[in-house]
Structures are given as C-alpha cells and as structure tokens.
Amino acid sequence: MRSLMIAALLSAACTTTATTDYQKVTFDTSEAILASAVSPSDVFEVRVHGHDDLSGLHRVSPEGDIDFPLIKRVRVEGLTSSQIADLIRQKLMEGYLRSPTVTVYVKEVNSKKIFVFGQVAKPGAFLYEDGMNVVQAIALAGGFSTFAQQNNVKIKRKSGDKESTIDIPVERIVTDPGSTNFRLIPGDIVFVPENPL
C-alpha cells in the first residue's frame, strides 16, 4: 500500500522536466512570499505595544481570517507576518488608536508540509519551516537508511501545471564545505532511491 501511495505521488499527471544542476534552480520572490504567508490552521501572535488586552495568539480559521478585538474579522490568509501587522495597525487607526505599534510572530505553521519518502528511517509528511533545506528534511525523516543513494536524492516540485525533478547530491552537500544546500518550498516531495544491488 505504501509503495502505491509513493508511486501516485511521484507520477502526477503534469509536464515533467529533469534538472541535473540543482545549484541553478532559483528560489523566486513569489515562492518566497508563498512560503512565508499564513494559511488556515497556522498560529501567530499579535503584540500591540502598550495594549496587553489587544495582544494574544490567533489561529487562522478555515475561511482564512481571525477574530481580533475591536476590529472583529480580519482576512489574513496569504499574507506574511509583516503584512498582517500593517493591516491590523491600519484597522486599529480607523477610530480606535492613534499610532499603534503592532508586531506579528508566526508560532505554528500547520498548513504547509514537505514529504520525504524512500530510503529514510521515518518516511512521511513534515511541517514546513521557513528556510527549510533538503538536509533538514532528511534529518526530520530520521536520516538515510543503509541502502540509500545519498548523492542521488530526487525532489519533485510543482509550479503551476508543471512539475520538475531536481537531482540533489545530499552526501556531497554534507561532506563538502563548498557545496550549497538546497532550499525547499511547501509541497516539495523528497525521494531517496535505493542503491542498486
């Protein structure tokens, strides 16, 4: 059953292109914003300086909003922490506070995941953390198994209706100080193949 699930994930009905040089794969601005934007189930803390009654934790609802004191429902889905702070500050200035200082800290990112399968100790889905890289993902999955092809890790990445496969030499990244780590984005599938006998 597990092998069928892995096969289904790895063979999506998309246009697939292979990229051999992982160092040429760019992490564009839109992907960076997407990776740091909040989604339903995420939890963040709002601090309004000098107003403890307005400060506290908020979980993004399934509809993508929160219920905030004084200003009621605020749509936050798809916004970064600084954008949420600016929005709350603006709404508080509309008849409630003169010039509030608002800061937002994301506490839990429950909506974004990466997936690690193949020759690792604990395959599965893991919560994405901002700036997460492939070495961290494999560590979360318990590290390589005895039979892993450590320099032939595959990452499946979907962008719109296209899907690309990126080859990552993880062992080289770990052992060679000059190698660049590879940054992940939410939804990436990390697959560690088995060494051929």
**Total count of domains within the chain:** 2
pTM, entire model? 0.65
Regarding whether 150 and 61 lie in a shared domain, the answer is no
User: Strand runs (DSSP E) across 109-161, as ranges?
Assistant: 113-118, 124-127, 153-159
Regarding whether 142 and 89 lie in a shared domain, the answer is no
| Per-position pLDDT tens, the chain of length 197 | 454 455 445 544 344 455 546 666 665 545 555 667 888 999 999 999 999 999 999 999 999 999 999 999 999 999 999 999 999 999 999 989 999 999 999 888 888 899 999 999 999 999 888 788 999 999 999 999 999 999 999 999 887 778 889 999 999 999 988 888 998 988 899 999 998 86
> Where in the sequence is the domain holding 73, given as residue range(s)?
39-108
